[in-house]
Amino acid sequence: MISVGKESELHVNVSLAHHRLITIPISHYCEKARWALALGGIEYREERHVQGPSRVASKRAGGGGTTPVLVTPTGVLSESEDIVAYAGPDLRQRDPAVLEITRWFDRDLGIMGRRLMYALVLRRPEMFLPFNNVGVPAWEARVLKLGWPFFAPWAAHVMRLGPDTVEHDIAAVRRTFDIVAGWLADGRPYLFGEEFTAADLAFAALAAPLVAPPEYGVPLPQPSAVPTEGGKLINSFRAHPAGAFALRMFREKRWPPGQRPPARSAPGTASS
pLDDT averaged per 10 residues in sequence order, the chain, 272 residues: 34 58 97 96 96 96 97 96 97 98 97 89 88 95 95 90 90 97 98 97 97 94 80 94 98 82 54 62
Handedness of CA 147, 149, 152, 158 (dihedral sign): negative
pLDDT score of 17: 52
Tell me which CATH homologous superfamily contains domain 16-89: Glutaredoxin (3.40.30.10)
- Edge-first strand order for the sheet with 69-72 is 45-48, 20-23, 69-72, 75-77
Q: What is the distance between the alpha carbons of residues 140 and 225, in angstroms, rounded to a whole number?
A: 24
pLDDT score of 261: 61
Q: What is the distance between the alpha carbons of residues 200 and 195, in angstroms, rounded to a whole number?
A: 9
CATH class of 96-253: mainly alpha
pLDDT score of 159: 87
- Residue spans per domain, the chain: 16-89, 96-253
Concatenating the DSSP letter of every residue in the chain gives: ---------------GGG-EEEE-TT-HHHHHHHHHHHHTT---EEEE--TTHHHHHHHHTTS-S-S-EEEETTEEE-SHHHHHHHH-GGG-TTSHHHHHHHHHHHHTHHHHHHHHHHHHHTT-HHHHHHHHTTTSBHHHHHHHHHTHHHHHHHHHHHHT--TTHHHHHHHHHHHHHHHHHHHHTT--SBTTBSS--HHHHHHHHHHHHHH--TTSSS----GGGS-HHHHHHHHHHHHSHHHHHHHHHHHHHSS-TT--PPP-PPTT--B-
